[in-house]
Chains A and B, each alone.
Chain A
Amino acid sequence: MAQAVTAPGAVAKRRSVKSIYPTWFYLPAGLLYVVLFALPTFASFYFAFTRWSLQDVEFTGWENFVTFFSEPQLRTGFINTFVYGFVTSGAKVVLGLALAVLLTSQLIGRGYLRSVVFFPVLVSAIGVGITFKVLMDPFDGLINESLSALGITGPAWLTDPQWALMSVALIDVWKGVGIATLIYIAGLAAIPQEYYEAAKVDGAGGWKAFRSITLPLVRPATATVILLSLIGGLRSFDLIWATTRGGPGFTSDVIASVIYKQYQAGFYGLSTAGNVVLFLVVTAIVVPISTLLNRREVER
């Protein structure tokens, strides 16, 4: 103590300020990351070009990728990935913002509504999947029974090839909209209330104020919601597997479910090629969108 009092400058100088934040703090996390994440990712770029049984590796060139895009069911999975990613992401942006606006306005039961929207986030995808498989049952399910009570014949949802993918997307939105709403509520809370008061004085109505104040100023929140939901949606596996297993036929397969099916069938090389394709799809979509959203933000 006495030392510190007599010569604080000397002590600080002797112990370089740099070592207060040592680089080795990166090491433990870095070790895990390199061994269990980076290494497998790099290895996948080799194994994707092989026929592989975990013991034997045979280099086969582009064969796996040719198979991937020539087999109709695998191609369906490729296209469905985009559809699923964009539909769920778009719906979460629109519904999340709408709910957040509603839940930040003066409203009775606001606290209750905020928690209830978030509840589905806490249930596992498998639990949600099984529950909705029953609720969406074409004949006895609660949804179609309610619809027929209103005189509407509901679709066969998860068992109809035309509806299966959209039905899973619908469940996904039900489960995930709570997170989007939470992010938007945080974004809306950061907008100064004076802007709305000024708009009111200038005679702008609710819709006008929403378009010219809310929408531009929640942009960072929108960027977060779009990116998070796209990353999740394009990689989505568990909900699809719990509800349709890619069926009926291959109509609701996505790349992630193809990866699992090929893995189960023992085609490890093909499964890994699927992984590489998924990697390319996710990066090709998320990286440009992320730079675009961030750049506009800076310009503003």
Chain B
Amino acid sequence: MRNRPREIVLGTVAILASVVVFIVPFVFIFLTAAKTPAEAAEFGFSLPIEWAIWDNLTTVLTVRNNLIVRAFVNSTVITVLSVALMVVLAAMVGYVLQRRRSRWNHVVNFFVLAGLIVPPAVVPTIWVMQGLGLFKTIPGMILIEATLGLSFCILLFRAFVSTIPKELDEAAWIDGAGPLRVFFSVVVPLLRPVMVTVVVVQAVNVFNDFTGPLYFLPGDDNATVQLTLYNFQSQTMSQWNLLFMDILLITIPPLVMYIFFNRQIVAGMTSGAVKG
């Protein structure tokens, strides 16, 4: 009760500061996306004199043979499949790594950390992908994204598996379930909280990835959303309204995911960070 005035003052100051620092840029994106080309080029922070949001939206979606729509499909396919792949594979590794003490543990732990720290060697990766016929293909991009995300997922899964009582898997084992059965029908359902965190974090990462597609999936045939934005920037420099409409469009999916899963992400991160 004593702190009441202080809470209000401090809170108000923080809210005002947050509006200036964090809200204004987002509002700016929205307003610029709603302006006419001439007005958007003035870079002003003002309400559009003439609202062109619908025109801009249809223009952006149809420009260059619906490039953005195709890019959205590509990015969605890459995101969904690579995240599904990395989550399943990483959960398997994290589970065995935590449950079974063996001489492999040191080796695996070392490689997991190396995967987190070591920057991917770009041209040699292209060289390997060319050898396998995966360069510039969507399956190749999916495999690369899945590989590069493995380490982070394994660390979170390993930390979380330690909170699941070992007796549960052993009970299922004694009842005659095989290792796959034990894992998929006993352990995986219990991994749900951390699964949500991993899926959301990695989906946002893969969807927002720019460097990966820039190197491993160049060209317009298989464009991803981030590459369309990058290419728009170099080609349609004067049309800032379209550029910002594109930013607005490709920011919506991650934002929606976050709003839906906000609480669970924080909970999953926390369990990993505290026990990890």
Once the chains are docked, how many angstroms separate the CA of A160 from the CA of B164?
Answer: 55
Once the chains are docked, how many angstroms separate the CA of A271 from the CA of B120?
Answer: 12
Of residues 111 through 127 on chain A, the ones whose CB sits less than 8 Å from some CB of chain B are 112-113, 115-127
Evaluate contact between A134 and B240: CB separation under 8 angstroms. Answer: yes
Evaluate contact between A23 and B118: CB separation under 8 angstroms. Answer: no
Q: Which of B25, B174, B211, B266 contacts A238 (CB 8 A)?
A: B211
Once the chains are docked, how many angstroms separate the CA of A109 from the CA of B8?
Answer: 9
State the Cβ distance, B152 to closest chain A Cβ, in Å. Answer: 10
**Closest partner residue, chain B, to A22 (CB atom):** B179
Of residues 255 through 274 on chain A, the ones whose CB sits less than 8 Å from some CB of chain B are 256, 259-260, 263, 268, 271-272
Of residues 20 through 36 on chain A, the ones whose CB sits less than 8 Å from some CB of chain B are 20-23, 25-26, 28-30, 32-33, 35-36
Evaluate contact between B14 and A109: CB separation under 8 angstroms. Answer: yes
Evaluate contact between B173 and A235: CB separation under 8 angstroms. Answer: no
Once the chains are docked, how many angstroms separate the CA of A131 from the CA of B102?
Answer: 50
A19 an interface residue at 8 Å Cβ cutoff?
yes
Evaluate contact between A37 and B179: CB separation under 8 angstroms. Answer: no
Given contacts A4-B176, A130-B229, contact A36 B144 (CB under 8 A): yes
B21 an interface residue at 8 Å Cβ cutoff?
yes
Given contacts A20-B182, A140-B44, contact A263 B123 (CB under 8 A): yes
State the Cβ distance, B54 to closest chain A Cβ, in Å. Answer: 21
State the Cβ distance, B193 to closest chain A Cβ, in Å. Answer: 14
Evaluate contact between A33 and B111: CB separation under 8 angstroms. Answer: yes
Given contacts A22-B96, A54-B130, A142-B43, contact A37 B14 (CB under 8 A): no
B49-81: CB near A (< 8 Å → 1, else 0) gives 000000000000000000000000000000000
Evaluate contact between B150 and A282: CB separation under 8 angstroms. Answer: no
Q: Which of B115, B119, B257 contacts A278 (CB 8 A)?
A: B119
Once the chains are docked, how many angstroms separate the CA of A135 from the CA of B25?
Answer: 8
> Per DSSP, are chain B's interface residues mostly helix, strand or loop, or mixed?
helix
Given contacts A23-B104, A52-B123, A130-B247, contact A29 B208 (CB under 8 A): no
**Closest partner residue, chain B, to A121 (CB atom):** B204
Evaluate contact between B28 and A135: CB separation under 8 angstroms. Answer: yes
User: Among A44, A276, A282, which residue has the most Cβ atoms of chain B within 10 A?
Assistant: A44
Of residues 271 through 300 on chain A, the ones whose CB sits less than 8 Å from some CB of chain B are 271-272, 275-276, 278-279, 282-283, 286-287
User: Among A43, A109, A124, A260, which residue has the most Cβ atoms of chain B within 10 A?
Assistant: A124
Of residues 217 through 261 on chain B, the ones whose CB sits less than 8 Å from some CB of chain A are 226, 229-230, 233, 240, 243-244, 247, 250-251, 254-255, 257-258
- Residues in B with CB closer than 8 Å to A131 are 25, 28-29, 244, 247
Evaluate contact between A21 and B95: CB separation under 8 angstroms. Answer: yes
Given contacts A21-B99, A43-B128, contact A116 B22 (CB under 8 A): yes
Evaluate contact between B29 and A54: CB separation under 8 angstroms. Answer: no
- Residues in A with CB closer than 8 Å to B117 are 231, 282-283, 286-287
Q: Which of B15, B108, B124 contacts A44 (CB 8 A)?
A: B124
Evaluate contact between B124 and A137: CB separation under 8 angstroms. Answer: no
A107 an interface residue at 8 Å Cβ cutoff?
yes
State the Cβ distance, A94 to closest chain B Cβ, in Å. Answer: 15
Of residues 30 through 55 on chain A, the ones whose CB sits less than 8 Å from some CB of chain B are 30, 32-33, 35-41, 43-44, 47, 52, 54
- Residues in B with CB closer than 8 Å to A127 are 29, 229, 247, 250-251
Once the chains are docked, how many angstroms separate the CA of A54 from the CA of B244?
Answer: 38
User: Among A29, A105, A126, A237, which residue has the most Cβ atoms of chain B within 10 A?
Assistant: A29
Of residues 59 through 103 on chain A, the ones whose CB sits less than 8 Å from some CB of chain B are 102
- Residues in A with CB closer than 8 Å to B129 are 36
Given contacts A109-B15, A116-B22, A126-B210, contact A25 B95 (CB under 8 A): yes
B36 an interface residue at 8 Å Cβ cutoff?
no
Evaluate contact between A37 and B115: CB separation under 8 angstroms. Answer: yes
State the Cβ distance, B206 to closest chain A Cβ, in Å. Answer: 11
State the Cβ distance, B168 to closest chain A Cβ, in Å. Answer: 11
User: Among B102, B254, B257, which residue has the most Cβ atoms of chain A within 10 A?
Assistant: B254
Closest 9 CB pairs of A and B: A108-B11, A44-B121, A124-B208, A40-B124, A29-B89, A21-B100, A40-B125, A140-B43, A43-B124
List 20 A-B pairs, Cβ < 8 Å: A4-B176, A20-B182, A21-B100, A29-B150, A32-B150, A37-B148, A43-B128, A106-B3, A120-B22, A123-B254, A127-B29, A130-B247, A131-B29, A134-B32, A135-B25, A135-B43, A187-B273, A260-B214, A260-B215, A272-B121
Where the two chains meet, the residues of B that have a C-beta atom closer than 8 Å to any C-beta of A are 3, 7-8, 10-12, 14-15, 18, 21-26, 28-29, 32, 42-45, 89-90, 92-93, 95-96, 99-100, 102, 104, 108, 111, 115-130, 132, 143-144, 146-148, 150, 154, 169-170, 173-176, 179, 182-183, 204, 207-208, 210-211, 214-215, 226, 229-230, 233, 240, 243-244, 247, 250-251, 254-255, 257-258, 262, 266, 269-270, 273-274
Given contacts A22-B179, A272-B124, 16 further A-B contacts (CB under 8 A): A17-B173, A21-B100, A32-B146, A37-B148, A41-B120, A43-B128, A47-B123, A109-B15, A117-B18, A134-B32, A140-B43, A142-B45, A185-B266, A272-B122, A275-B119, A275-B121
